[in-house]
Chains A and B, each alone.
Chain A
Amino acid sequence: KAGVTQTPRYLIKTRGQQVTLSCSPISGHRSVSWYQQTPGQGLQFLFEYFSETQRNKGNFPGRFSGRQFSNSRSEMNVSTLELGDSALYLCASSSSQETQYFGPGTRLLVL
């Protein structure tokens, strides 16, 4: 099976802009989770989608949103970007929400 893919891999934006990141899970996986990773901050959980429904949400402001499509592909949107949003955004898919299979990540730089 193909692994989890994320696009784009790198992105440069300026403050105030918005961005949309995409994640394609492993075929057959219906759960997709999103994480923000910054140096020294580990994996900060953003949200999890299952069958097009947000099932779990972390402690991030409403500027961070997501959605999942019927083919389980997921998108994450960040509006009104701030400098502090610069990070590696990882998505992970799972068939059971036990083992997480991570994508390569999208590295976002906000200038």
Chain B
Amino acid sequence: GENVEQHPSTLSVQEGDSAVIKCTYSDSASNYFPWYKQELGKRPQLIIDIRSNVGEKKDQRIAVTLNKTAKHFSLHITETQPEDSAVYFCAASLLSGGYQKVTFGTGTKLQVIP
């Protein structure tokens, strides 16, 4: 089955700096890659996603890049703010047995230091 590895497990950055979280996946058939943000005490929520036919996607200060050849994708957060502090999960989804199956990474705890 699909295996998703996520690095780093923890990340501390100064406010205003950029943060990058990287994920690799094992099954080249994966075709959908969402990122979720989970603030302390809250539920995970989708913040951005990318499909396999796209190399990069941006939404304000957040961007995701996908390298299908290397089977890795990354989340980039620019001009970080304290409210970006949270746990971020990547995921990879592939069509298997007639339906999409999603596998999550292990999460990255991002701390933005004011």
Contacts and interface: CB of A to CB of B under 8 A. Distances in A.
Contacts of B103: 45
Q: For this complex, into which size category does the number of interface residues on chain B fall?
A: 20 to 34
Given A97-B93, A98-B34, A98-B93, A55 B104 contact: no
Contact of A42 (B43, B101, B102, B104): B104
Contacts of B49: 98-99
Interface residues of A, number: 20
Interface stretch (A17-25, A66-74, A101-109): A101-109
A13 B101 CA distance: 32
B43 A97 contact: no
A43 B100 contact: no
A43 B43 contact: no
A100 B102 CA distance: 9
Given A90-B43, A97-B93, A102-B44, 10 more contacts: A33-B102, A42-B89, A42-B104, A43-B44, A97-B100, A98-B34, A98-B49, A98-B102, A99-B49, A100-B46
